[in-house]
Amino acid sequence: MSTIALQSDNFARAYSASTLAAGNPANWDTYWSTDIDPLPAALPGTCENRVCALPVDAVGNTVTYTIQRLCQTAGDPALLPTGCASRSQLASQSGGSLGSGNPQMTQVPQYYYRVTSRIAGPRNTVSYIQTIVAR
């Protein structure tokens, strides 16, 4: 996805440009079933609402996932306050010269995204795996 595409929701790809108000809950199973996927209708290999479902594996595990930009609201954080979790990265870290007399390198913001996978096993077990990535 392009940087501009990441500023808006794309539920057909299980992507939210903002995190829901209760986006850091103590109980992920409740959060998943009430806020992220209240109507779990995604068929294996499809995306629906805010969730994509992978094909069921050979032992019966069902894997679904969602991606959330860690912002309070959607939109371009450079143009309006979105409350995004971010960090500035020196432009020099992505190329350029650090030699004496060269112009000051500008700061390039990095924004954070949370990828959450939910694995439901055939014996009523449920696991959540999360990772935070920056772009």
User: What's the whole-number mean pLDDT along residues 13-38?
Assistant: 82
User: What's the whole-number mean pLDDT along residues 9-30?
Assistant: 82
Given a cut of 80, whether residue 114 has pLDDT beyond it is yes
Query: What is the predicted pLDDT for the residue at 89?
Result: 55
Q: Could you list the residue range(s) of the whole structural domain that residue 60 is in?
A: 5-134
Query: What is the predicted pLDDT for the residue at 117?
Result: 95
Q: How many CB atoms lie within 10 A of CB 22?
A: 12
Given a cut of 70, whether residue 85 has pLDDT beyond it is yes
Domains identified in the chain, total number: 1
Query: What is the predicted pLDDT for the residue at 100?
Result: 65
User: What's the whole-number mean pLDDT along residues 91-116?
Assistant: 69
Query: What is the predicted pLDDT for the residue at 35?
Result: 84
Between 79 and 1, residue with greater pLDDT: 79
Quick: pLDDT tens for 48-62. 888 999 999 999 999
